[in-house]
A and B are shown apart, each in its own frame.
Chain A
Amino acid sequence: AQRVTQPEKLLSVFKGAPVELKCNYSYSGSPELFWYVQYSRQRLQLLLRHISRESIKGFTADLNKGETSFHLKKPFAQEEDSAMYYCALSSNDMRFGAGTRLTVKP
């Protein structure tokens, strides 16, 4: 069965520091992976998807099939990055991890 694991419920960094939000998945087929973000008082929205290989708001994520990971990274965190981040796997449906709450301190 497909599963998405985000091991850190809470992550706190200082402004300007690098940040990495971890995501591991289990799926027997070819996965399609996403990162979604929920800012305070806003809807959950797409941040980026692995097939696009894009950088959004300075964030990147690389799919590592050997390690079954899709970690989200940003070299210099900003206060406005504080939010709830969800990793998601698309297979027969869309499964989400438990989420990581990122706090960027000034």
Chain B
Amino acid sequence: DGGITQSPKYLFRKEGQNVTLSCEQNLNHDAMYWYRQDPGQGLRLIYYSQIVNDFQKGDIAEGYSVSREKKESFPLTVTSAQKNPTAFYLCASSIKPAGFPFSGNTIYFGEGSWLTVV
């Protein structure tokens, strides 16, 4: 079954703790993305990676970290420095990096992970 798999679906974290959200894709996509979805604010880009061993900050990278050691994996760590971490997190991937000229690039999304800080 091909696609993007995020885990866990639901996660509770105590204040002051780091937590890592997993994102795996078996679509052989070059680019991967992490978004945060909050009510009324749409999807805000946290980090993205266009190729293995490279990643770029999005609009709201503060308090988050990522790695891209393997093409199929792009884990997101929510650190204790993130002031308002309770949110719905979406991972996505695309066959080519966004911006590739008129690639018709389609982004495919995972089912998301709910993170609640208690």
Contact = CB atoms under 8 A, between A and B. Distances in A.
A73 interface: no
A95 B109 contact: no
Q: Among A34, A52, A93, find the residue whose CB has the most chain B CB atoms closer than 10 A.
A: A93
A86 B42 contact: yes
Interface in B81-118: 90, 92, 94, 98-99, 101-112
Q: Which of the four size classes fits the interface of chain A?
A: 20 to 34
Q: Which of the four size classes fits the interface of chain B?
A: 20 to 34
B46 to A, nearest CB: 11
Given A44-B109, A46-B106, A94 B42 contact: no
Interface stretch (B20-28, B33-41, B62-70): B33-41
B106 A91 contact: no
Contacts of B19: none
